[in-house]
Amino acid sequence: MPMPAKAVLLVHGGAGVINRDSMSSEMETRYTTKLGDALIAGHKVLKAGGSSLDAVVAAIQVLEDSPLFNAGKGAVLTRDKRIELDAAIMDGASLQAGAVGAITTVKNPITAARAVMEHTEHVMLIGKGAEMFLRDIAKKIGLTLVEPDYFMTPLRIEQLEEALASEKERYGAASHSKTAHRKTRKAVGFDENKFGTVGAVALDQSGNLAAGTSTGGITAKRYGRVGDSPLIGSGTYADNATCAISCTGHGEYFIKHVASYDVAARMKYLKEPVSIAAPYVINTTLRECGGFGGMIALDRHGNAAVPFNTPGMFRGAVTEDGEVSVSIYCD
């Protein structure tokens, strides 16, 4: 998807092995429609004079509410069949940021991340402590709380079972799930290497940038694993002086290379435009060490970059006048 000359909002719904041949036209339409819905929701906020933070939240909520993506409803399951959600948001004007890790009861994790940013002196809250804070403040700020079962879908349960069975196969244990595993991958158009994190970056009428990211992590994760999405500078970053970024991919690599901040640093110190800095980090820094994924990046002038080093990435952009463009594959 060629990027528009001047974008005000970008979204992504994950990068990975997304195959054109194995994705039905119906499923492709579902994805592109929902990405478009997210862009329209965010653009509506910006057109009305709303902040980039508000636009990012509006766009991400649409994707979190859709079972198509690995965030909010439809998030992947941990090894012990639980939902543990991570999210982050950052304001490019003030460099204020908020993040949550391993939460289980807030309908839209991006709103939980914003609550941490705006109602605590901290940047990140995780696990039980985060849940306590969010329950205490929910009524005051209008957070929607749900039971953990709300997030689960039959597809994610099946994917977890297949992942555990596949692990047994690798270690010699008998399994009868091979056929089902192939069937599920073909039905949805990608395999287990797809990363379904969602994110958005926006530029508002005041020239302020913001970024947000939300995810369920990786299927069969364990030990309270937290990836790059809620880590400021790794999966999420925004600074009016450089750019706003949201990442998706193999989080451990994005963490080790502080991927989103690296783009901002290249822009700041090497004076590279976002169109060079972002692709360099994805296609050189990460690829050389075996890291796969992508990112959406937007600078303070509305210049955009959406590099990814996987066969596909769900992504889209909208311009100031409301022109929406959405794409999935690498061509």
Locate the domains of the chain by residue range. Answer: 7-150+190-329
Q: Are 55 and 317 in contact (CB under 8 A)?
A: no
Assign 279 a pLDDT band (cuts: 50, 70, 90): very high
Q: Would you state the pLDDT for residue 128? A: 96
pLDDT at 55: 98
Place of tokens 């939980």: 112
Task: Tell me the pTM.
Answer: 0.92
> Of 93-107, 129-143, 174-188, where does mean pLDDT reach its minimum?
174-188
- Which string of DSSP letters, residue by residue, matches 73-102? TTPPP-TTS---EEEEEEETTT--EEEEEE
In order of 85, 148, 183, 219, the CA distances from 64 in angstroms are 11, 14, 25, 17
CA–CA separation, 313 and 166 (whole Å) = 25
Q: Which CATH number fits domain 7-150+190-329: 3.60.20.30, 3.40.50.20, 3.30.70.980, 3.90.1530.30?
A: 3.60.20.30
Stretch 304-319: mean pLDDT, rounded?
Answer: 96
The pLDDT, as a whole number, for residue 309 is 95
Higher pLDDT, 163 or 33: 33
What's the gap between Cα 226 and its chain centre?
13
Which one of the listed residues 197, 213, 242, 319 is annotated catalytic? 197
The predicted pLDDT at position 183 comes to 43
Average pLDDT over residues 134-150: 97
**Angle, to 10 degrees, between the axis of helix 178-188 and the axis of helix 154-170?**
140
pLDDT at 170: 72
**Residue 29 known to be catalytic:** no
Task: Please report, for residues 33, 68, 161, 174, the alpha-carbon distance to residue 166 in angstroms, rounded to integers and kept in the order given.
Answer: 33, 23, 9, 10
